[in-house]
Structure 1
Amino acid sequence: MIRGGQNYVSSPPAFSNDCKRVLVCTGNTVSVFSTSTGLQVSSLEGHTAPVTSILVVPATDVFCYCWTSSFDGTIRYWDLSVPEMVKKLDLGMPVSSMVIPSFLGSPEETNAKTSSVFAYVSVHDGKAWQIRKCNLTNYQKVGKLVLKETERPEPLIISPSGNYLGIKDKCKLHIWKLPRVESDLAVAKKITLHHTKNITILAFHPTERTVAAGDVTGRILIWRGFGTQKFLDPSGSNNRISMNDGEDKPGVRQNDDAESCSVWHWHSAAVSLLSFSPDGAYLYSGGKEGVLVLWQLDSGKKNFLPRIGSPLLYFIESPDPSLSLISCADNQIHMLKTPSMEIMRSISGIKPPLSYQEVCENFSGKAAFDCTSGLVAVQTENYGIQFYSLFANRGVYEVQVCERNHQPVDDVTVLVTLVELSVDGSTMGTVEVKLPEEGIGGVVCLKFWELDSDTKRFSVSTVIYEPHRDVDISAVAFHPTRRMAVSTSYGGDFKIWVCKERDIQQKGQRLQNSGWMCHAVGSYKNKAMRAATFSADGSVLAVAADTVITLWDPDKNVLMAVVGETPTPIVSLAFAGKSEYLLSISHGLKPQLSVWSMSKLAMAWSYRLHVEAVCSTIDSSYFAILALLPESNERAFKGNGIILLFNATDPIPVASMSVMKPKGGALAFLKGDLSEQAVIDGKTPQTLLVYINGDREYVIFNPYDKEGHKLSVIRQDVALEETGQFGYSSIYGELPKFDLQKEKTLSVMSSASERPWETIFNGSSHMLPPLTKLCSVFLESLLEKRTAVAE
């Protein structure tokens, strides 16, 4: 089993002492990347919940150790040279943030403080988040002294000198002066600085008593000389000089313990990044604009590193003054060469789901797969397509669909609503929509892209504006063996496109180019067409026309047959079993998975399920579906979704796997082998199944290996919705309601049944309800229900 697609920017990364490696929190593990290549070289595995912080132990020798904290309630000590875990401390409470003051400051100060290592942690005791002290050397249990309670897990910020600890809490900054000699009973002094807006981030000056904070409006506040009265007064008294606050402390509110407060404003949205340079002469800031701003602390002058292309999250300095890194919200970590601030290389994770997909009603954020090379194509925030290697777990390259700069603070005006790849991965189709402004100016654009055999990158071949008049495109499908494609629209028609070679005369040379043109147009009773697919040999084109399936000859554009009807509109189609069966997915009030026999042109079997994704193998009759579980079944299946593997000839699932975050997920069968020995022996690649969840995390596994990948085999009776069973013929069916064990494992298959008479008469006579109760339910079930629409 291969897992990938983790979030690289959930917590700040850390450099190793020799600056040759970068440690990144990636879910339950810590991934170690090389700074010279940007590739992963090792990982630290052992935590059972997301890792929240990484702290590298400072050292002068070649050995490197680090501490990590996690939501699993443990703090672990690691040897990076092996790598393996050396020590584990169980706090018994989730840890959201951790700092170790003794790791900071000069070596003389560090050795003089204490022989024990103390950490400050933010833990949850079951009621609230608390900041406590923990002795990592002589650990027995986390300290009982609570520095502060907060509603949310606030990150702990330590000063570069290790003398001050701070957190943000709504409109306040809480700062503690840590004891010079740490012990279990040592108490820190505290002050509070106030602001009028919610604070988003803070940073301490490396040498001075200066703290900077950013707020939700984009302002940066700098308090100088904080703690003059509380921290520097040996008696600890908090006596204040009775003077005019405006003259004595310019910019300071509520008579806070600071000498002055100044405000800088450049960012147009919330500040998410603040960091002082090691010498304290500059302040780095960043936000949603994707621009790193370099402020000169004395004069307030600014320099910029623009067009990073994504909101900024963290800026980390390394022990090497010529190297730093910046983490971005698009799951990328860029390594910078200082002081020129050039991006040398990047650690590319999979791009997160689009934040503006709700803007367009007909948006399809489903990923497209190149099953032969193991690549997945996903839409990005900057109007592009990212190609991500599923087996290597890293980004390969990006294609810019719309040539425009991405401005996260602007209103969304363009959407890349759909991406689709051909079977061999050589052709790509994309659909972009320019949203209308006040109902005017909306444009739909269909683009075909060709893969360059030398560069292995896509370049645009044909641009088609308004291919279906002024309506949106619902689906694009490619012919399995020829350069042919079909696009469907909500306006009630589909178009078949073919690619033809053409000669172009340029500068006295005869060049050959390819272009796509319309081959045929079809429709069926002006019904909206939401899905289309070709058969395995390409001889049949299936197009969903609202609730029916139409079968066409793509070459002659002749309607050959109309198959069945479903309760709600069909949104997805796929052939299975060498095109012997056709799968249809319907959404709406009565979602349904239907399997149609092409030899009989009739429904073979169906399930009342909400199916999010479906995929089928090319050379066998197996197919897999991703279904959403009803809320009542989440606990029984240990997740909120389930993957079911079927043989199209048999309505009983072959295997199942419970999954998390299925909404917006996708499935695909890939060619590959999970065993290293198979690669050495040169065996034929197996058929693997990849599942990508709504957060674009994925897992690759062998769906047929039930023992090796913990797939639970289903061989019990399931509640089928078969054709022909209705009325009195279904009265004596099984009653899952009275079988508690079956209900726990199989209620997902029967939960959507809306015919109560199927089960109310089943069971022992002494367990049946009285006839007075059964009669009213039975008679009501015979009546046709209609939804009343208010006029």
Structure 2
Amino acid sequence: MGGRILNIDPILTDNEKHLILAYNTSLQVYSAAESLLIRKIPLSFFTKPESRGQIVSVCPSATSQNLVWVASSSGYVWLIDWETGEGSEAYTKLECEFLTDMSIGAIKIDGSTQDVLYASVQRDQSWHILACDIRDLHVKASKILFTSPSAIGNLQSTRPGHTLVASAGRDIILGMSRAKSFSTFEGLDYDFFTLDGSDDITCLDVRVTDRVHLHRRSQRETGNMPVVEIVVGCARGSVFLYNDLLPQLRLKNTSKNRQFALQPRKYHWHRRAVHAVKWSRDGNYIISGGSESTLVLWQLDTQKMDFLPHLSATVENIVVSARGAAYVLHLGDNSAMILSTAEMKPTTYVSGIQTIVTPRPFSKDDIVRRVGKYTHAQLSKTPAAVNPCNTSRILLCVGNEQQIGHSGAGPSTPLIQTVDLTTMQSLAKQALTRTNPTDVNTTSRGYAITEPRITNIAYSHDGRWLATVDEWQPPSRDVNALEGSAVERREVYLKFWSLSEDGLTLELVSRIDAPHYAGQSESVLDIAADPRKERFATIGEDGIVRLWRPTVRQRDGIVVKGKKGEPLHSWTCSQAIYLHGNEAPGDLDTTTTPVRGSGAICFSEDGSTLVCAEVHEQGSAIHVIDPTSGEIRSSLNGLVRGDIQGVRILSSYLIVLSDTLVVYDMVLDELRYGAQLRTNEDTHGPGVSIIAHLAVDYQASRFAVAVSRNKPEGSHSHSELAIFTTEQCVPEKVHKLPCPITSLLPAIGSSGFLVLDAAAQLWSVSEGMDTKSLAFAQPLADLNLDPEPTAKDPVENATVALLENGDEEPASGDEMDVDMAEDGTDEDHVHPAVVAPQRLRELFDAAPAFAMPPIEDMFYQVTKLFSTKQAIPAA
């Protein structure tokens, strides 16, 4: 489930009841009223190697409201019925090397109106605008309308398709049909004009209206030609408006006015590229958005601007509804919303998984090279955790965007997101470190301000506490003129948070500055929670293991209490365990030698044993510690090769993951088995990065290992997931995923695993047909619910929807628990019970809230009103 919403205009149906979003693997239909997923339509080209590509355009049909056209970059085209999901398996192929954009227009041919597909394609090193007559997914005819040496994008057509507009670099391409109807498709003909722009075009929109003549001179000069207006957004933040183009183009083509130049109106507010621009339905406003996380409304008559600031991310796409009553925004943090134009308040919100996507998706801000380093695509782990009290919620560390910034300091993940697995919707998002999402986030020299990143998170065993570690260090360019390095000025914080009753809000309880200090702030390599007590353990680069426990706050011997009378707590270090035997009397002693390397730590199932693994310049070791006394019981050498990736305890077995997988029996003190994970290609290949994950399923006594290989751009990255037991070295299951894995978690409270990949998708791994262990979100269409009522009388629709909402279709073989009339019909269905509002008012207003009967009794009284049969009048 999940995935990334593509940079394609969403589709809002004409009745504004459904929102269609294009994901990287499917089309998903949402209800605009409840923001719930109604239908997920997977596309077949992800399962067919011969049709690899990415979805580049999704357009509604111009002749049918229930059909949408879908095109991929490899030239494959689908015609899908979004109401039923039919058509996702059948497709046709256009003759092209690459397809960049598509648009659908309605053309009257031979007396009937039909869809005509316009596509910008590459053929023989040239770019063309292609018109195709596709019927029953067969290309009946195709015709090249325009040819350009530069790549053509932003292709749009009006309804009906008499006007085409596109962009090629800095040029605007405008096409006007020579007639309103054609006898044959081969007679389709357009006149094209090319307008020279002053900047690279990133987005555009066209508006065509009928001309209204105010005097005879206007009618004599312009005739009945329509009014064509184009608004263009550019890569350096400018917005250009071309008003009433056709008379100006006709004047320019005359012999006397060859030097006549078009003078568009220029608007400039955006600091970087304009990502989206649209006309309002009445033509009085221009709506634009960009990386400033602000929606800008330009009022053309008064030259004033209105703003909707502090959105959650970059505005990638804007869509104006057919009636003009709503705006649809697609934001860069993998979310979409519907805003009412009257109040500018969201009425629908759809948010998916907002983790950083690898490889970094293309951004329109990249067209112009700016100051600062551009971070190359790199693979990193995503800290994640499942709530022990509510196993359907997962915490993910995310950033303000789904792409790595330009600061050169790696991925920025200062936020934490709570995702509900049963609905696959974001429940909450909270900043755990300082952030600059909408404020001025650049320095005076134009460099991006870096934000801290969360490196580790862990829940306590009872779900009351959350421990997080965040780290920040200034870029080297900012400390070159100072003494020391960026590492010496590194900030590392260990924070403890208390969860609210609903589990969505975090309250900071304690912040530990530099929890591992050895002359400078050392990184926290790993954190683990005790499965039996309220205790956490951390291991740092200073070679020390620290145990943290809560204590009740006291002031002058009196317990400090909160607003609700509960005692407040503070987290402190209860014990420090020195792994190298050079124990110092104070926490701030600087004699400890830092350990430059990697490390991992974990508790046993009963919390009686603490195991930590460390890799440093002198070698590697695994220590078995008694957490009660802090004594190191034993140390194991030779089990780690390379950087340590994870360590876990399953029963009496110690599982160590590094460049090799090692299963060691701690009771018998012998090696059970080992497996090599890193190959020669991984070791010596240029630009290859590998990350590995380890997770243990205690209920099924299995563990999972995931290895992801991120290769240079242009190479295919993949990952493998293997399920092992401690008894044999041959994995029970090996599965390849198309995207690198960034996080691997056990399913708390059940058997199975959760896998998060670099495409912001969640995978569930369970044994056999155990579908109850991992309850993922299912579309409403897959739940066999009654279909929505057809378009009838609005009052009748409201009554039927009220009565039939939530009714479930019985499975085959089950008996229906309803009363049937003598003729075999369902009386309740034919004559539904209608409850007067005063009946409900009498029931709920019978007593004050504190004197009301139990909620169960109220439920039965309400259902009794709706289930009572009404008297049927005699004919």
Asked if TM exceeds 0.5, the reply is yes
1:396 corresponds in structure 2 to 427
Specify every segment of 5 or more residues in structure 1 that has no aligned partner in the other structure, as ranges: 104-109, 250-258, 673-684, 708-791
1:201 corresponds in structure 2 to 203
Are the structure 2 counterparts of residues 205 and 367 from structure 1 closer, same or farther at C-alpha, using a change threshold of 3 Å?
A: same
1:180-222 per-position Cα deviation (integer Å, ceiling 9, x unaligned): 3353332222222223432211111343422222222111122
- In the aligned structure 1, how far is the partner of 2:397 from the partner of 2:124? 39
Q: How far does residue 379 in structure 1 lie from its aligned partner after superposition?
A: 1.9
The answer to whether the aligner puts 1:120 opposite 2:118 as a matched pair is yes
Answer whether contact 1:574 1:616 (CA < 8 A) is retained. no
2:399 corresponds in structure 1 to 381
- In the aligned structure 1, how far is the partner of 2:159 from the partner of 2:753? 48
Answer whether contact 1:661 1:694 (CA < 8 A) is retained. yes
Are the structure 2 counterparts of residues 129 and 188 from structure 1 closer, same or farther at C-alpha, using a change threshold of 3 Å?
A: same
Q: How far does residue 294 in structure 1 lie from its aligned partner after superposition?
A: 0.7
1:385 alignment partner AA: I
Q: Tell me which of 603, 613, 619 is aligned to 2:699.
A: 619
Are the structure 2 counterparts of residues 240 and 484 from structure 1 closer, same or farther at C-alpha, using a change threshold of 3 Å?
A: farther
Are the structure 2 counterparts of residues 152 and 626 from structure 1 closer, same or farther at C-alpha, using a change threshold of 3 Å?
A: farther
- In the aligned structure 2, how far is the partner of 1:72 from the partner of 1:212? 29
2:752 alignment partner, SS class = strand
Q: Tell me which of 306, 309, 322 is aligned to 2:309.
A: 306
1:22-66 per-position Cα deviation (integer Å, ceiling 9, x unaligned): 111123322110111111112334542454433334679xx7333
The more displaced of 30-39 and 646-655 is 646-655
1:660 alignment partner AA: P
Answer whether contact 1:275 1:285 (CA < 8 A) is retained. yes
Q: Tell me which of 575, 582, 585 is aligned to 2:657.
A: 585
- In the aligned structure 2, how far is the partner of 1:349 from the partner of 1:126? 40
2:283 alignment partner, SS class = coil
Are the structure 2 counterparts of residues 459 and 574 from structure 1 closer, same or farther at C-alpha, using a change threshold of 3 Å?
A: same
2:756 corresponds in structure 1 to 692
- In the aligned structure 2, how far is the partner of 1:177 from the partner of 1:26? 33
Are the structure 2 counterparts of residues 698 and 66 from structure 1 closer, same or farther at C-alpha, using a change threshold of 3 Å?
A: same
Answer whether contact 1:548 1:570 (CA < 8 A) is retained. no
1:146-201 per-position Cα deviation (integer Å, ceiling 9, x unaligned): 52357657332234674322222222222222343353332222222223432211
- In the aligned structure 1, how far is the partner of 2:562 from the partner of 2:742? 49
Are the structure 2 counterparts of residues 44 and 454 from structure 1 closer, same or farther at C-alpha, using a change threshold of 3 Å?
A: closer
Are the structure 2 counterparts of residues 121 and 449 from structure 1 closer, same or farther at C-alpha, using a change threshold of 3 Å?
A: same
2:747 corresponds in structure 1 to 670
Answer whether contact 1:629 1:641 (CA < 8 A) is retained. yes
1:287-318 per-position Cα deviation (integer Å, ceiling 9, x unaligned): 11100111112343211000002011111111
Q: How far does residue 97 in structure 1 lie from its aligned partner after superposition?
A: 2.8
Q: How far does residue 266 in structure 1 lie from its aligned partner after superposition?
A: 0.9
Specify every segment of 5 or more residues in structure 2 that has no aligned partner in the other structure, as ranges: 47-53, 210-226, 361-372, 401-413, 443-447, 480-485, 581-592, 679-690, 772-875
Give the 5 Å matches for 1:213-362.
Answer: 213-228=232-247, 232=250, 238-242=253-257, 245=259, 248-249=260-261, 259-353=262-356
The more displaced of 513-522 and 324-333 is 513-522
- In the aligned structure 2, how far is the partner of 1:387 from the partner of 1:262? 45
1:429 alignment partner, SS class = strand
1:429-486 per-position Cα deviation (integer Å, ceiling 9, x unaligned): 2222343352485422111122223455332222212212312222221111211111
The answer to whether the aligner puts 1:169 opposite 2:168 as a matched pair is yes
- In the aligned structure 1, how far is the partner of 2:240 from the partner of 2:698? 61
- In the aligned structure 1, how far is the partner of 2:604 from the partner of 2:273? 51
Answer whether contact 1:639 1:659 (CA < 8 A) is retained. no
- In the aligned structure 1, how far is the partner of 2:231 from the partner of 2:711? 46
1:466 alignment partner AA: A
1:496 corresponds in structure 2 to 547
- In the aligned structure 1, how far is the partner of 2:707 from the partner of 2:89? 42
2:106 alignment partner, SS class = helix
Answer whether contact 1:331 1:350 (CA < 8 A) is retained. yes
Are the structure 2 counterparts of residues 77 and 433 from structure 1 closer, same or farther at C-alpha, using a change threshold of 3 Å?
A: same
1:116 alignment partner, SS class = strand
Answer whether contact 1:577 1:618 (CA < 8 A) is retained. yes
Q: How far does residue 111 in structure 1 lie from its aligned partner after superposition?
A: 9.6
Answer whether contact 2:7 2:316 (CA < 8 A) is retained. no
1:499 alignment partner AA: P
The more displaced of 7-16 and 83-92 is 83-92
The answer to whether the aligner puts 1:524 opposite 2:579 as a matched pair is yes
Give the 5 Å matches for 1:12-91.
Answer: 12-49=9-46, 50-57=54-61, 64-71=66-73, 73-85=75-87, 88=90, 90-91=92-93
The more displaced of 176-185 and 613-622 is 176-185
Answer whether contact 2:528 2:536 (CA < 8 A) is retained. yes
2:730 corresponds in structure 1 to 652
Kindly tell me the number of residue pairs found equivalent between the two proteins: 659
- In the aligned structure 2, how far is the partner of 1:113 from the partner of 1:170? 38
Answer whether contact 1:29 1:44 (CA < 8 A) is retained. yes
Q: Tell me which of 412, 433, 439 is aligned to 2:449.
A: 412
Q: How far does residue 661 in structure 1 lie from its aligned partner after superposition?
A: 2.0
- In the aligned structure 2, how far is the partner of 1:238 from the partner of 1:594? 78
- In the aligned structure 1, how far is the partner of 2:253 from the partner of 2:703? 72
The more displaced of 500-509 and 366-375 is 500-509
Q: Tell me which of 599, 602, 607 is aligned to 2:667.
A: 599
- In the aligned structure 2, how far is the partner of 1:484 from the partner of 1:151? 62
- In the aligned structure 2, how far is the partner of 1:274 from the partner of 1:692? 34
The answer to whether the aligner puts 1:211 opposite 2:230 as a matched pair is yes
- In the aligned structure 2, how far is the partner of 1:192 from the partner of 1:508? 68
% identical equivalent positions? 19
What is the CA RMSD across the aligned residues, in angstroms?
A: 3.6
- In the aligned structure 2, how far is the partner of 1:508 from the partner of 1:478? 28
The answer to whether the aligner puts 1:429 opposite 2:467 as a matched pair is yes
The more displaced of 593-602 and 221-230 is 221-230
1:570-605 per-position Cα deviation (integer Å, ceiling 9, x unaligned): 433332432x2222222xxxx222222212444433
Normalized against structure 1, the TM-score is what?
0.75
Answer whether contact 2:106 2:114 (CA < 8 A) is retained. no
- In the aligned structure 1, how far is the partner of 2:111 from the partner of 2:242? 27
1:537 alignment partner, SS class = coil
2:114 alignment partner, SS class = coil
2:783 corresponds in structure 1 to none
Are the structure 2 counterparts of residues 176 and 523 from structure 1 closer, same or farther at C-alpha, using a change threshold of 3 Å?
A: farther
2:731 alignment partner, SS class = strand
Answer whether contact 1:11 1:53 (CA < 8 A) is retained. yes
2:492 corresponds in structure 1 to 444
2:191 alignment partner AA: K
2:569 alignment partner AA: S
1:378 alignment partner AA: L
2:287 alignment partner AA: Y
Give the 5 Å matches for 1:454-603.
Answer: 454=502, 456-469=504-517, 470-502=521-553, 504-505=559-560, 511-525=566-580, 526=593, 527-528=595-596, 530-546=599-615, 547-566=620-639, 568-578=641-651, 580-586=652-658, 591-603=659-671
Are the structure 2 counterparts of residues 365 and 72 from structure 1 closer, same or farther at C-alpha, using a change threshold of 3 Å?
A: same
The more displaced of 91-100 and 650-659 is 91-100
- In the aligned structure 1, how far is the partner of 2:563 from the partner of 2:200? 66
- In the aligned structure 2, how far is the partner of 1:325 from the partner of 1:509? 42
1:369 alignment partner AA: V
2:20 alignment partner, SS class = strand
Are the structure 2 counterparts of residues 361 and 427 from structure 1 closer, same or farther at C-alpha, using a change threshold of 3 Å?
A: farther
- In the aligned structure 2, how far is the partner of 1:630 from the partner of 1:506? 50
- In the aligned structure 2, how far is the partner of 1:507 from the partner of 1:565? 51
2:384 corresponds in structure 1 to 367
- In the aligned structure 1, how far is the partner of 2:573 from the partner of 2:232? 58
1:662-693 per-position Cα deviation (integer Å, ceiling 9, x unaligned): 1x522223258xxxxxxxxxxxx5x2232211
